[in-house]
Amino acid sequence: MEVFGDSNLVLRQIQGHWKTGDVKFRPYHAYLELMVGRFDDLRYTHLPKAHNQFVDALATLASMIDIPVEATICPLLIESRSVPAYCCLIDEAKFDDGLP
């Protein structure tokens, strides 16, 4: 799994390079340490805040679902396109609803 984050401080804390000093974040860090043990390969990538729109979108999606601890999560392939996705489907439409 590759973890993307825009906070170098948090990424360093997750990796164990720096201590989690703020008491209110310690429970999150402890839970994260339990989760990290479930992955065979884990990499961390720092993204500057100017490039974190994708990270924000994934975080929003992840916060909307509850995944049971025993669940197996399959890899998710996300592609970036140079044109909006609907442009790729225009030629595939076979119905005529009379609209432009």
Tell me the pTM: 0.45
Task: Give domain status of residue 42, yes or no.
Answer: yes
pLDDT at 26 over 80: yes
Provide the domain count of the chain: 1
Average pLDDT of the chain is 78
Q: 41-68 pLDDT, tens per residue?
A: 888 888 887 777 776 787 788 888 888 8
Task: Give domain status of residue 100, yes or no.
Answer: no
Pairing of strands 2-5, 43-46: parallel
Query: DSSP string covering 38-64, please?
Result: T-SS-EEEE--GGG-HHHHHHHHHHHT
Task: Give domain status of residue 97, yes or no.
Answer: no
Task: Give domain status of residue 99, yes or no.
Answer: no
Q: What is the pLDDT of residue 20?
A: 80
Q: What is the pLDDT of residue 93?
A: 54
Residue 18: give the domain boundaries.
Answer: 2-92
Task: Give domain status of residue 9, yes or no.
Answer: yes
Task: Give domain status of residue 83, yes or no.
Answer: yes
Task: Give domain status of residue 80, yes or no.
Answer: yes
CB 2 within 8 A of CB 54: no
